[in-house]
Structure 1
Amino acid sequence: MSATQSSSSLSTFAALWRLKPFVRPIVGRLIGGALSALGAAVIALMIPIVLEQLVAGPLKSGVVGLILAGAFAVFALALGEAVMVWLRRWFVLTPATEVEFQMRSELYSRLQSLPVSFHDRWQSGQLLSRMMQDIGLIRRWLAFGLILLVVNILTIIIGAVLLFQWHWLLGVIFLVTGIPMWIQGYLFEKRYGTLARRSQDQAGDLATSVEESVHGIRVLKAFGRGKHALSRFSRQAETLRETELSKARAIAEIWFWLDLMPQIAFGLSLISGIWLIWQGAIELPQLFAFFAMATVLRWPIESIGFLFSFMLDARTATDRVFEIFQATNTITDPEKPVRIDEPRGELAFEGAHFRYQDAGASERDLLDGIDLVLRPGETMALVGLTGSGKTTLTTLPARLYDVTAGRVTLDGVDVRDLELSDLRRHVAMAFEDATLFSASVRENVLLGRADLDLHSEEAERVLREALDVAQAGFVDSLPEGVETIIGEEGLSLSGGQRQRLALARAVAAKPKVLVLDDPLSALDVDTEALVEEALRHVLADTTALIVAHRPSTVALADRVALLERGRITAVGTHSELLRTSAHYRHVISSLEAEEAARTGAIPIITDAVAEAHAAEVHAAEEAEAAVTEAEVDEEEEVQA
C-alpha cells in the first residue's frame, strides 16, 4: 500500500493525531489558549443574560444609577472578553511556531537520510511545497483553527442549552434548523477533502515547473523555448485554478447553508416569540435576551464551515508531510556496526548485482555479477560503452544505492556493516555533473571535513592543497577570494570551474578510497594535463576508481577494468587489454574518436582500425551465441 493510500484511509481525527509527537511539548500552552478562548466565549454568552436583567429592571424603572451600573457591567464583560482573546493569542502563537520549526527541521533531516532512490522518484517542487506550504498551514491550524473549532462547537452547545431557559419552543427551533447544516457538513468533508489534496499536489507540480524553468533558463533562452515553457506553465496553472474554483464552490455551498439556516431560525424564532408573548408564555425582556444570545451564537455557527475546511486542509497537509516521514529508508546504519580504525583501502565487488526498483521482472540486472578487486593504493580506470553501468557501479561503494545481491567490501568488511558516517569518511566521490551550494568557496571545498574549524590553520592548509591539485587557482581572482559566495548550484561559474571545485572537495576530504565519475570532462586539454599530473601524487597512497570517458584519463590508472553489459569482462593494464581484448579496442577507439572530435586531434586508432575492431567484436558475439545455442540443443537431447 502506498503512503497516499494509507493516509487517505485514515479518519480525519486519526490523520491529525499523528501530529501528537510534535504537539506534545506545547500541549499545556494549547490548553491554556483553548481555556482562554472558551473564557472569552462564556463571557460573550453572559452579556445577553445581563442585558435581560438590564431591560427588565433599570430600563423599565428608569433609574439612571442602575442603568449606568448595567452599562458598566456590559463594558466590563466586553473588556474581559478582549483580555481572554489576547491571552489566547499569547498562549498559542509562539509555541505553534516552535512546532513549525521542529517539523521543518525533522523533515529536512529526513530528506537528508532518505536514499537517492527516493529522490529519484520525487519532484523537488513537491518536496519544497511540503516543506514550506504544508507545514506553514499546519502551524496556522494549530494556533488558530484547532482551538477555535473546539471552542466554537462548545460555545454552540452551551448557547443552545441556555436558549432553552427562556422557552423550550425557541430552543427546539434553534436546534432543528441546525440539522441541515450538519448534513451538509458531512457531505462537504467528502468532497472538499479530495479537492484539497488535489490542489496541494498541483501546487507542488507548479512549484516544480518554476524551479525547472529557473534552473534551465539558459537552455530555454538558447533554444528560444521560453514561450513553450510559459505555455506548459499556463496549462498547469489553469488546472490549479480550476481546482481552486471547485474548492471555492464547495465552500460557497456550505456557506450558503450556514447563512441561510440562521436566518430561517431567526425568522421562525421571531414569529414564535411574538406568538409566545401574545400567549403570555414569555415576556419582552426574555425575547430580547433570546435574540441577543442568538446573535452571539451567529459567528460561531457561521465560522464552522470555514474552520471545517481549514481542518480538512490541515489534514491533507499532514498526509502529505507524513508521506515523507513514513517513506521507507532502505539505506540505514547497521544494528551492530563494525569499525575500521585504520583502513588500508582495499575495495572489492563480490558477485555484485543491481537493478532499479522500477525495472521489469523480465529485464536483466543492470549490474549482473560484478567481481572486481582494487588493491590498496591502486588506481583503476573503469571503461565501457554508454549504458554498460559505469556510473551505477560508482554509487555502490558509498552506499548511494545498495547492491540487490552480492556485496561490496572495504578491507574485507561489507560496507553495509559500517556506519554511514564512517563509510563516507573513508570513501569520497566526485561526479561528472558537479553540484555546488550557495555558500563560500571555502565552505564548498571543505564540505567533507566536519572535523575541521573552517578558519583554522589546518583547514587553510587542506583548502590550499586541494585547490592546487584541482588547478583551481582562479578562486583567488574572485571578488572575495575563497570567501566569495557562489551562486545557486554554482551556475555563476563555468562548467570547468565547477568541476575543479568539486574535485578539490573530494581531494580535501582525504578519503582512503576516491571514486571519480569522469571528473575532468569539462576541462580543456592543458588544464586537464596539469590536474592529472597533480592527481598522480594525491593518488599515490589512495585507492581510486575512475570512470574514464576520455583516453587521457585511462593514463592515470595502474589497471583498467572493462565493463560490458553489466559484467567485468577483462582486467589488466592498458597495453595488455589493447593486445588481448577486441571489445576494449573498440571502446578505446570510440573514446579517441570522441576526443578527436572535441579537440580536432588525429585519433591514435583510425576509423579503419575501429571498424576492424568492431567486426572482431561482432564475430566474437556471433561465436558466443552459436556456442550457447549448441549447449541448449545438447541439453534438450539429454533431457529427451
Structure 2
Amino acid sequence: MFSWFERRIDPYPAELPQMPPERFWPFMRHYSRGALPWLALLGVTSGAIALVEVSLYGWLGDLVDRLADTPRETFWAENWARLALMALGLLVLLPGLNLLGGLLMHQTLLGNFPQRVRWLAYRYLLRQSVGYFQDEFAGRIAQRLMQTALGVREVAMKLMDVGSYVVIYFLGALALAAHQDWRLALPFALWALGYALMLSRIVPRLGRVAQQQADARAAMTGRMVDSYTNIATVKLFSHSDREERWMREGMNGFLDTVYRQMRLAQVQDITLSLLNVWLVASVTGVGLWLWTEGTLAVGAVAIAVPLALRLNNMAHWIMWEFSALFENIGTVRDGISSLALPRAVQDRPDAKPLQVTAGAVQFDHVTFRYGQDAGGQNAGEQEDRARPLAVLDDLDLTIRAGEKVGLVGRSGAGKSTLINLLLRFHDISEGRITIDGQDVAQVTQESLRAAIGVVTQDSTLLHRSVRENVTYGRPDASEEDIAHALRMAEADRFVPRLSDAQGRKGLAAHVGERGVKLSGGQRQRIAIARVALKDAPILILDEATSALDSEVEAAIQSRLDLLMQGKTVIAIAHRLSTIAAMDRLVVMDQGRIVEQGSHADLLARNGLYARLWARQSGGFLASGM
C-alpha cells in the first residue's frame, strides 16, 4: 500500500526542463505539473474530513435532544439506526478519510513533490550560461533551489489541504448554526468578518517580511559559504576578525527581519485571542437567550457552544498556517528571481551535433561586447557611442587542422575571451566562429565542448574520487587507459600514495571541495590527465603548466608534446618560453590581432612581441606590461 502511493508521482521526470514562468501562479503551476491530480484529491479528502467532523456536531445536538425527549425504555429501539449511522461515520468513514489523506500527504506528496521540483530546477540551472554562475554565490544558488522546492510544496499543499479543510469546516459550521436559528449564526459570521479583516491586514505584511527574510537568509548563507570556501585566503591575511564583522553584518540583516516578523506575530496573537473569547462568549450568550425564550432546543446550544470552542482552538492553527503560507509564498517569489531567468546561451531549435573531421578553426570578423545581445545591437540603445566597449573587435583568425597556435598578449588583450567564445560560453555580437566549416552557434553546446579539451590555469576538481575526476570526460575508460593518462601527466607517482579521512586510497581517494586536499601542481596534473583521457581533437591550454614547478614542468612538457600530436592546439601563456616552439604565435592587443608568425619572425620584426620577450623577467611578463 505504501509503495503504491509512493509511486504515484515520478520524482525524476525525463522531459527536458523548460524555463519556468516569471510570475508567481504560472511558476507554481509549472512546477506542480505531475502532482496536480494528487493535490486535488488531497483537497477533496480534506474537505470531506471537515464535512464529517461538522456533521458529528449536528449528530451530537440531535443526540442530546433525543436523550431529553425519549424514555429510557424505548431509546435503543427508536434510535438504533441513527446511532449505527453515527458509529459508521465515526469509526469507519472518518478514519478511512484520514488514512487516505495521510497516505496522499506522507507517501505521495511530501517527498516526491519537492524532489521533482529540485530535479527540474537543478537540470535547468545546470544548462545555464557560465555568466550566470559568475554572478551568484554557488551556495546561494543551491540554497535558493532547495528553499524554493520546499516553498512550492508548502504553498500547494496548504492551499489544497488546509484551505479546503478550513473553508468547508467554517461553511459547514455556519450552515449548521443557521439551521438551528439564523440569530445563532450571527456571532460566527461577525467573527469570520473580524478574522478575515485581521488576516488581510497582518498576513500580507508577514508575507513581505518573509520574502525579505528569505533573501536575507540566502545572503547570510552566501557570506558564510564565501568565508569557508576561501578559508586559506582568510588565514593567510589574518583576517578572522574582519570576516567575523562581515558575517555579523549579514546575520544582523537576517535578525532584523526576524524581529519584524515576531512583532507582527505578537500583534496577530493578541488580536486573535480577543476575537476568540468574544466568539465563545457571544455564542454562549445568544444560545442561552434563545433557549430561555423557548425558540431554541437544548441540543442546538449543545451544537453551537462546542463549535465555537472548536473554532477557538482552530483559529490559532489557521492563523499560523496562513502565516506559513505567506512565508512560503515569499520564499517562492525570492526563488523565482534566481530560477526563472532565461539562458543567455541556448541551443537553437534546429541545432545538430558537431562533426569534427579535421579540427580547423576560423574566427570570421568576430566582434564581442560584454552586456550586448548577439546580433550587434545593445538592448534599448541605438547609437554606436552607447555600445559597450568591444573586447574583441572585427577579429579574423584561421587555424588550420592540426596547427599549434600560441596566443600572446598582455592581460586584457582578449586571449581568454577568444577561448570562451570558441567554447560558446558567450554568444558573439558580430561575425561567426566555425569548426570544420560548421558555425558553433548552429551546433549543440554539448557536442561542441565534447570536441574540445581544456586545461586552465586554475583547474578545479570535483569533490569526488581521483578516478571520477580523471574519467570525467570519458567514464567508460579502461584501467589501462587511466594508467596511461596518469603517466602522461606525471601523476602516476603521487596518486597511489593519496588517502582521505575515510581510508580510501589511490584512485579511490577523494580530493576535497575543488580539489583542496591536493597541491596546486597535483591538481593541475590530474586536470591534464583528465584532458589526456578525453582525447578531444581540439586542445586548449590556458596557462596549463603555470601551477607546476620547473622540474615537473620540464618533465611534463615532453608529455604535452605527445598530447598535442594530431590535434589542433590553441595555447595561452604569459611565460613565453613555454609556447615559443608553437607553429605560429598570434599577438593580441586591445581585442585585435597585431602580429602573427613564428617566434623567430616576430623577434625579427621588433614589434610588440619582441618588446614583451625583451621585458620578461624569469620567463614572466614584467609588471606594468
| Same fold by TM-score greater than 0.5 | yes
Aligned length: 583
- The one of 49, 56, 63 equivalent to 2:58 is 49
Say yes or no: does 1:221 pair with 2:221. Answer: no
What residue identity is the alignment partner of 1:582?
G
Give runs of aligned pairs for residues 192-341 of structure 1, distance below 5 A.
192-341=206-355
- The one of 167, 173, 195 equivalent to 2:181 is 167
- The one of 159, 169, 173 equivalent to 1:155 is 169
How far is 1:177 from its partner? 2.6
Counterparts in 2 of 1:65 and 1:420: CA distance versus 1, 3 Å: farther
Structure 1 Cα separation of the partners of residues 101 and 516 of structure 2:
48
What is the aligned partner in structure 1 of residue 145 from structure 2?
131
Give runs of aligned pairs for residues 468-547 of structure 1, distance below 5 A.
468-473=487-492, 474-479=494-499, 480-547=505-572
Q: What are the ranges of 5 or more consecutive residues in structure 1 without an aligned counterpart?
A: 1-5, 598-606, 615-640
3-state secondary structure, aligned to 2:204: helix
Structure 2 Cα separation of the partners of residues 64 and 554 of structure 1:
110
Counterparts in 2 of 1:145 and 1:299: CA distance versus 1, 3 Å: farther
1:568-605 CA distance string (max 9 Å, x none): 10011111111214321222244x315479xxxxxxxx
Counterparts in 2 of 1:143 and 1:174: CA distance versus 1, 3 Å: closer
1:382-441 CA distance string (max 9 Å, x none): 111122222222111111122121221111221111122221121121211111001111
How far is 1:262 from its partner? 2.5
How far is 1:523 from its partner? 0.2
- The one of 31, 34, 38 equivalent to 1:29 is 38
What is the aligned partner in structure 2 of residue 464 from structure 1?
483
How far is 1:486 from its partner? 1.7
What is the aligned partner in structure 2 of residue 631 from structure 1?
none
Structure 1 Cα separation of the partners of residues 178 and 560 of structure 2:
89
Query: Is the Cα–Cα contact under 8 Å of residues 280 and 312 in structure 2 kept in the other structure?
Result: no
What residue identity is the alignment partner of 1:264?
W
Moved more, 384-393 or 55-64: 55-64
Query: Is the Cα–Cα contact under 8 Å of residues 536 and 556 in structure 1 kept in the other structure?
Result: no
What residue identity is the alignment partner of 1:423?
L
Structure 2 Cα separation of the partners of residues 73 and 166 of structure 1:
21
3-state secondary structure, aligned to 2:179: coil
Structure 1 Cα separation of the partners of residues 353 and 39 of structure 2:
46
1:291-340 CA distance string (max 9 Å, x none): 12223333444333222222223323333344444311132223333555
Alignment RMSD, CA only?
2.7
How far is 1:127 from its partner? 0.9
3-state secondary structure, aligned to 1:387: coil
Query: Is the Cα–Cα contact under 8 Å of residues 145 and 307 in structure 1 kept in the other structure?
Result: no
Query: Is the Cα–Cα contact under 8 Å of residues 574 and 620 in structure 2 kept in the other structure?
Result: no
Give runs of aligned pairs for residues 565-584 of structure 1, distance below 5 A.
565-584=590-609
What residue identity is the alignment partner of 1:381?
G
Moved more, 232-241 or 331-340: 331-340
What is the aligned partner in structure 2 of residue 453 from structure 1?
476
How far is 1:542 from its partner? 0.5
What is the aligned partner in structure 2 of residue 90 from structure 1?
103
1:59-115 CA distance string (max 9 Å, x none): 676839959989998776554534432321201223322221221111111111111
Counterparts in 2 of 1:213 and 1:66: CA distance versus 1, 3 Å: farther
Structure 2 Cα separation of the partners of residues 460 and 361 of structure 1:
56
Alignment TM-score, normalising by the size of structure 2? 0.87
3-state secondary structure, aligned to 1:348: strand
Structure 1 Cα separation of the partners of residues 117 and 330 of structure 2:
16
What is the aligned partner in structure 2 of residue 107 from structure 1?
121
What is the aligned partner in structure 1 of residue 13 from structure 2?
none
How far is 1:51 from its partner? 2.0
What is the aligned partner in structure 1 of residue 395 from structure 2?
370
Structure 2 Cα separation of the partners of residues 287 and 263 of structure 1:
17
Q: What are the ranges of 5 or more consecutive residues in structure 2 without an aligned counterpart?
A: 1-20, 373-377, 379-384, 500-504
Moved more, 245-254 or 128-137: 245-254
Structure 1 Cα separation of the partners of residues 340 and 26 of structure 2:
15
What is the aligned partner in structure 1 of residue 94 from structure 2?
81
Moved more, 319-328 or 44-53: 319-328
Structure 1 Cα separation of the partners of residues 251 and 333 of structure 2:
23
Structure 1 Cα separation of the partners of residues 428 and 280 of structure 2:
71
What residue identity is the alignment partner of 1:115?
S
Counterparts in 2 of 1:364 and 1:174: CA distance versus 1, 3 Å: same
What residue identity is the alignment partner of 1:32?
L
3-state secondary structure, aligned to 2:433: strand
- The one of 521, 541, 552 equivalent to 2:577 is 552
3-state secondary structure, aligned to 2:402: coil
Query: Is the Cα–Cα contact under 8 Å of residues 155 and 329 in structure 2 kept in the other structure?
Result: no
Structure 1 Cα separation of the partners of residues 451 and 515 of structure 2:
26
Query: Is the Cα–Cα contact under 8 Å of residues 280 and 309 in structure 2 kept in the other structure?
Result: no
1:235-275 CA distance string (max 9 Å, x none): 21121111022122223333333332232122222222222
What is the aligned partner in structure 2 of residue 391 from structure 1?
416
Moved more, 372-381 or 549-558: 549-558
Structure 2 Cα separation of the partners of residues 340 and 23 of structure 1:
36
What is the aligned partner in structure 2 of residue 382 from structure 1?
407
3-state secondary structure, aligned to 2:421: coil
Alignment TM-score, normalising by the size of structure 1? 0.85
Q: Structure 1: which 4+ aligned runs deviate by more than 6 Å?
A: 67-76
Counterparts in 2 of 1:30 and 1:371: CA distance versus 1, 3 Å: same
Say yes or no: does 1:356 pair with 2:370. Answer: yes
What residue identity is the alignment partner of 1:387?
G
3-state secondary structure, aligned to 1:369: strand
Percent of pairs identical after alignment?
A: 24
What residue identity is the alignment partner of 2:137?
Q
1:544-577 CA distance string (max 9 Å, x none): 1111111332234211111111111001111111
Structure with more helix by fraction: 1
Query: Is the Cα–Cα contact under 8 Å of residues 188 and 279 in structure 2 kept in the other structure?
Result: yes
How far is 1:372 from its partner? 1.4
